[in-house]
Amino acid sequence: TKRVSLDLVALDPTSVTSPVLNMVHSSVAISGTISPLDAYAEMLGFGSESTKVTFQSPFAIRNRLGLIVSGLDTSFQNRNGNTFGRMVDHCLAVANATPGNTGIFTSSYSIGRSLIEAGLEKRLKRKLFIERPGMKGTENDKMIEDYKRQGEKGGAVLLGVQGGRNSEGGDFPGSTMESVVVVGVPYARPTPRMEALITYYDSAFNKK
């Protein structure tokens, strides 16, 4: 039999945050990614009198090189052996040019598996650490410790997923991760919930 479920989703987070903020004298919210600040302050219920401060990154822009590879995408219709083989070529080029560790973060675990099937692990001249779905926290922590140690020993490669514990919450100073390859963009699925959220914020902020 086919199951039907009904989800009630609060599109406005202030129903949760406002009661908490009303109980405290002051509150500090810190993030390295939220922008624009005015919109987030309103969304979370901080009020128009809240103080918003932006701090510049302490890392010199001249030390950061960003490159984009054109002619490749991870859309479903273009997922084939030739495409993933070319992606592996670029991943290897970055890893081989990096003295320390490299991180490769894909938009999904399936993309990561496709890179391995296309020869990433076989062609790589250094050790590959693979973040797998369902890994226990202790298992992942041990893997990351081993991976970081390779930074001063010729380098290694970490294959993970965007939005995962290692791409978002990890700290990789110095040689523990000197270069990063981002494969694909993890767009949110166009679910009814996502469409409703977009419509709600378009209305709330006059499509700004």
Indicate the domain borders of the chain.
10-55, 61-183
What is the per-residue pLDDT for 122? Answer: 96
Tell me the average pLDDT across 183-189.
Answer: 83
Domain 61-183 CATH class label: alpha beta
Please write the tens of the pLDDT for every residue from 14-62: 989 999 999 999 999 888 777 788 888 888 898 878 899 998 888 888 8
Look-up of token digits 């990789």? 172
Determine which of 68-77, 84-93, 117-126 has the lowest per-residue pLDDT on average.
Answer: 68-77
**Cα–Cα distance for residue pair 125/157, rounded to 1 Å:** 10
- Asked if residue 189 has pLDDT above 80, the reply is no
In this structure, are strands 157-161 and 128-130 parallel, antiparallel, or unpaired?
parallel
**Cα–Cα distance for residue pair 88/114, rounded to 1 Å:** 10
3-class state of residue 109 by DSSP: helix
Please write the tens of the pLDDT for every residue from 93-148: 999 999 999 999 999 999 999 999 999 999 999 999 999 999 999 999 999 999 99
End-to-end CA distance of the chain: 44
What is the per-residue pLDDT for 183? Answer: 95
Do 134 and 145 touch, CB atoms closer than 8 A? no
